[in-house]
Amino acid sequence: MMEDFAQRWQPVEDMLTERFGKKPNMEAILFLIGVNELNNLKKKYTKEQKQDLMHVAVCTLLSQSGYFERDGFDQDGWPHFRELQPVPKMELTEQEQFLKEHVIAYFTSEHEA
C-alpha cells in the first residue's frame, strides 16, 4: 500500500519541484492550491491571508471526499465552505498521508480537465 502511495505521490512532487525549482513542503503545496482556487495571484499576501489560502486548500481538497462543500464566495471573491461531516481525528502522520492522497487526486483531476 505504501509503495503504491509513493508511486502516485512522486509524480506530483516531481511536477511541483520542476515548476518551482525546489521540493515543496505540505504548507507550500496547500498555499499553491489555495492561490489556484482563489484565482487571484498577487505578489504579496499577509500572514493571515496565507493561512486563509491554506484553509481554502484544505476545504477544497476535503470536498473531494464529501467533508466540505463550496458555499459561495464573499465580496472579495474568496470561496467559503460548509462542513458536511467532521473530518476524522488522526495522528499527524496519518493526517499528512490523508492530505497527500487528496493532493494527488486534486492534481490528477486538474490535469485531466
Domain ranges in the chain?
23-112
Report the predicted TM-score, pTM, of the whole model to 2 decimal places: 0.89
Q: What does the alpha-carbon distance between residue 85 and residue 110 come to, in Å, rounded to a whole number?
A: 24
| pLDDT tens over the chain, length 113 residues | 667 989 999 999 999 999 889 999 999 999 999 999 998 777 789 999 999 999 999 999 999 999 999 999 999 889 999 999 999 999 999 999 999 999 999 998 865 54
Q: What does the alpha-carbon distance between residue 7 and residue 102 come to, in Å, rounded to a whole number?
A: 15
- DSSP β-bridge partners for residue 73: 79
